[in-house]
């Protein structure tokens, strides 16, 4: 019997408009995780406070993200995705405006926490909105859309922050979000699909779960972020926060397994595809954010570049990912992630190897080519894996599944950053000692130095970076094994999707003949 040709699935105008709104909100949240970093010294000077205190401008935002992200799944089920999205966008705009008007370091830190409360929900809620609107057979293409700000945000942050600080007041680092946020808020009111009463699940808020999971994540991420400052996993602040975080998270897991509606559902992990995809998300998140930690410091410390210049030198990675993501998503929708993601992982690993041999004079053009190729590998890996996590989930499971994936990604990035920081710190000390060089302030003094280092110091420091990049290669290769167990098929077309999400604007994917599978 002749096999019916598989229908061609496209993105409808409605889905494109929804994607535009989600991308606008997501890029604001992601940009603000890195844009402030280059302004910390300026902020410390203007507010007449120490760098240790002003560091909480960045740390407070990160901890607010960790606290509020677990709530997003419950909030979407309880109040609807559109309402939660608009409230989060409003809080982010309000927090950004107040940050720009801050009159002291303490007020700025408080307003950054408010900004983080809004920003922490934007990405998981945005993913839920897109996943529900797209349906399973277009998941790869739609997830590739939101992947662009995830890759470009950390790259553009230092560039924009550096340009703003160099040419105008630091307050514009925060004010720049306001017009973008207002546009996103107006468009979300007009373009986001209305919340259906049938989708709302009026479950009680899991207070005990929140008291365990939110502070547990915050304590864990705080410990990991402090590793870079302390230079050791065994210092008292790191160890206490780490153990407290792990204890609270274990308590949440035991609690969540024994109640009906926990703050974050763990039962999706019974699904093989979801579990494997989250393992990949953890490792890929680790390689992405770990490299985002190493690369700018290499350019700034070993080569003496300004922060905004380092950001521009990292741009080829984002451009490579953006160039391939749409195609990778389309192919994933047709043939399944197992035929796409492993190649991306190997390409990422191969393109990272040149950084394992960097010196203070390695060609910037050669590194840019390597970063572009690395970005292509990232584009072939990151969002197809995210799409795979949604493969066998039903419509009601998507919000809390999105919450889980964002927690996993955030934790993976924090673990890698902490690990790479310790490796780098110890290598710098070891290499400087072997070279007979004494640097005041140790490795922290070297990393915090401004301007070009003298060759007797710069060469051992560059060698420390080259050693640390090998750890990045090994981390990427770890992700290769679970990718071999990802689905080797297109998404299940029988999963229910939102009404009106069909490709012709009149019917849903569930009403179309299934795509022929291998």
Q: Is 490 left (phi over 0), alpha (psi -120 to 50) or beta?
A: beta
Enclosing H/E stretch for 365 = helix 364-389
CA 417 to chain centre: 13
Question: In this structure, is residue 188 part of a structural domain?
Answer: yes
User: What is the average pLDDT value for the chain, to the nearest integer?
Assistant: 81
Q: Which of 219-223, 342-346, 426-430 has the highest mean pLDDT?
A: 342-346
Q: What angle do CA 62, 79, 63 make, to 5 degrees?
A: 10
Question: Does 232 or 176 have the greater pLDDT score?
Answer: 176
Q: What is the CATH number of the domain that holds 375?
A: 1.20.1250.20
pLDDT at 470: 92
Inter-axis angle of helices 364-389 and 307-335, nearest 10: 40
Residues 73, 36 share a domain: yes
- Name the band, by pLDDT with cuts 50, 70 and 90, for residue 39: confident
pLDDT at 499 over 60: no
DSSP 495: S
pLDDT at 6: 43
| CA 229/CA 90 separation, integer angstroms | 33
pLDDT at 229: 61
pLDDT at 496: 42
pLDDT at 45: 82
- Name the band, by pLDDT with cuts 50, 70 and 90, for residue 510: very low
Q: Are 70 and 214 in contact (CB under 8 A)?
A: yes
- Name the band, by pLDDT with cuts 50, 70 and 90, for residue 25: confident
Residues 180, 164 share a domain: yes
Task: Say which residues have a Cβ less than 8 Å from residue 168's Cβ, sequence separation at least 6.
Answer: none
Question: Does 444 or 113 have the greater pLDDT score?
Answer: 113
Instruction: Spell out the alpha helix ranges (H) of 336-361.
Output: 341-352
Give the model confidence (pLDDT) of 308-351 as tens digits: 787 788 888 888 888 888 888 888 888 888 889 999 999 999 99
- Name the band, by pLDDT with cuts 50, 70 and 90, for residue 502: very low
Question: In this structure, is residue 39 part of a structural domain?
Answer: yes
The Cα-based distances of 241 to 70, 223, 325 in angstroms read: 19, 5, 37
| CA 430/CA 203 separation, integer angstroms | 55
- Name the band, by pLDDT with cuts 50, 70 and 90, for residue 352: very high
Residues 302, 331 share a domain: yes
Question: In this structure, is residue 374 part of a structural domain?
Answer: yes
Burial 84-118 (b: 16+ CB within 10 A, else e): bbbbbbebbbbbbbbbbebeebeebbbbbbbbbbb
Residues 282, 244 share a domain: no
Structure tokens at 228: 């870079």
pLDDT at 360 over 80: yes
| CA 388/CA 410 separation, integer angstroms | 18
Q: Of 194, 224, 239, which marks where a domain is finished?
A: 194
pLDDT at 369 over 50: yes
The per-residue DSSP string of 48-90 comes to: T--HHHHTHHHHHHHHHHHHHTTHHHHHHHHH-HHHHHHHHHH
Question: In this structure, is residue 6 part of a structural domain?
Answer: no
Residues 292, 422 share a domain: yes
Question: In this structure, is residue 515 part of a structural domain?
Answer: no
Task: Say which residues have a Cβ less than 8 Å from residue 180's Cβ, sequence separation at least 6.
Answer: 24, 27, 28
Residues 457, 319 share a domain: yes
* Maximal CA-CA distance, the chain: 79
| CA 301/CA 359 separation, integer angstroms | 12
pLDDT at 269: 87
Give the model confidence (pLDDT) of 456-480 as tens digits: 788 888 898 999 999 989 988 888 8
Question: In this structure, is residue 518 part of a structural domain?
Answer: no
Question: In this structure, is residue 501 part of a structural domain?
Answer: no
- Name the band, by pLDDT with cuts 50, 70 and 90, for residue 419: confident
Residues 163, 219 share a domain: no
Lowest mean pLDDT among 138-142, 380-384, 420-424: 138-142
Give the model confidence (pLDDT) of 160-200 as tens digits: 887 888 788 889 989 988 998 999 999 998 888 887 766 67
Q: Enter the pTM of the model.
A: 0.79
Lowest mean pLDDT among 7-11, 204-208, 295-299, 385-389: 7-11
Q: What percent of the chain has pLDDT over 70?
A: 86
Task: Say which residues have a Cβ less than 8 Å from residue 273's Cβ, sequence separation at least 6.
Answer: 388, 389, 391, 392, 486, 487
Residues 231, 155 share a domain: no
- SS (HEC) of 189-254: HHHCCCCCHHHCCCCCCCHHHHHHHHHHHHHHHHHHHHHHHHCCCCCHHHHHHHHHHHHHHHHHHH
The residue-averaged pLDDT of 145-158 equals 72
Q: Of 194, 215, 244, which marks where a domain is finished?
A: 194
pLDDT at 36: 82
- Name the band, by pLDDT with cuts 50, 70 and 90, for residue 491: low
Residues 255, 156 share a domain: no
- 135: domain range? 13-194
Residues 274, 249 share a domain: no
Question: Does 511 or 317 have the greater pLDDT score?
Answer: 317
Question: Does 341 or 434 have the greater pLDDT score?
Answer: 341
What's the structural domain count of the chain?
3
Residues 161, 37 share a domain: yes
The residue-averaged pLDDT of 475-504 equals 67
Q: Is 81 exposed, middle or buried (0-12, 13-18, 19+ CB in 10 A)?
A: buried
Residues 181, 121 share a domain: yes
Question: In this structure, is residue 512 part of a structural domain?
Answer: no
């Amino acid at each position: 019997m002749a096999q019916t040709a598989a229908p061609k699935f496209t993105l409808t105008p409605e889905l494109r408009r929804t994607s535009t709104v989600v991308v606008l909100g997501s890029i604001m949240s992601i940009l603000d995780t890195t844009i402030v970093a280059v302004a910390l010294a300026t902020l410390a000077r203007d507010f007449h406070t120490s760098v240790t205190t002003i560091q909480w401008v960045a740390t407070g935002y990160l901890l607010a993200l960790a606290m509020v992200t677990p709530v997003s799944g419950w909030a979407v089920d309880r109040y609807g995705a559109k309402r939660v999205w608009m409230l989060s966008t409003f809080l982010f705009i309000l927090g950004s405006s107040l940050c720009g008007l801050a009159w002291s370091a303490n007020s700025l830190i408080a307003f950054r926490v408010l900004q983080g409360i809004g920003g922490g929900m934007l990405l998981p809620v945005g993913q839920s909105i897109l996943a529900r609107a797209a349906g399973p057979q277009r998941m790869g293409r739609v997830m590739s859309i939101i992947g662009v700000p995830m890759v470009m945000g950390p790259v553009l942050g230092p560039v924009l922050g550096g340009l703003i600080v160099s040419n105008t007041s630091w307050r514009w680092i925060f004010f720049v979000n306001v017009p973008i946020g207002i546009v996103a808020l107006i468009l979300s009111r007009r373009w986001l699909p209305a919340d259906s009463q049938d989708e709302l699940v009026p479950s009680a808020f899991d207070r005990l779960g929140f008291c365990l999971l939110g502070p547990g994540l915050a304590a864990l991420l705080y410990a990991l972020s402090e590793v870079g400052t302390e230079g050791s996993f065994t210092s008292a602040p790191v160890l206490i926060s780490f153990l407290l975080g792990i204890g609270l998270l274990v308590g949440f897991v035991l609690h969540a397994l024994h109640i009906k509606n926990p703050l974050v559902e763990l039962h999706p992990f019974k699904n093989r595809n979801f579990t494997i995809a989250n393992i990949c998300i953890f490792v890929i998140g680790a390689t992405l954010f770990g490299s985002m930690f190493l690369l700018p410091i290499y350019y700034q410390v070993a080569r003496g570049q300004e922060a905004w210049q380092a950001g521009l030198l990292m741009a080829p990675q984002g451009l490579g990912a953006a160039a391939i993501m749409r195609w990778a998503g389309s192919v994933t929708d047709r043939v399944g992630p197992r035929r796409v993601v492993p190649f991306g992982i190997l390409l990422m690993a191969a393109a990272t190897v040149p950084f394992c041999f960097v010196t203070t004079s390695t060609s910037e053009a050669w590194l840019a080519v390597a970063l572009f190729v690395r970005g292509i590998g990232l584009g072939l890996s990151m969002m197809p894996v995210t799409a795979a996590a949604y493969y066998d989930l039903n419509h009601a499971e998507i919000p809390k599944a999105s919450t889980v994936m964002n927690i996993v990604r955030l934790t993976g990035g924090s673990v890698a950053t902490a690990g790479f920081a310790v490796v780098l710190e110890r290598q710098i000390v070891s290499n400087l000692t072997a070279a007979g060089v004494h640097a005041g302030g140790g490795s922290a003094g070297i990393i915090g130095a401004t301007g070009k280092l003298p060759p007797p110091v710069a060469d051992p420091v560059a060698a420390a970076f080259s050693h640390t990049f090998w750890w990045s290669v090994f981390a990427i290769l770890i992700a290769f094994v679970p990718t071999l167990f990802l689905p080797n098929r297109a998404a299940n077309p029988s999963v229910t999707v939102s009404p009106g999400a069909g490709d012709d604007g009149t019917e849903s994917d569930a009403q179309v003949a299934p795509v022929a599978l291998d």
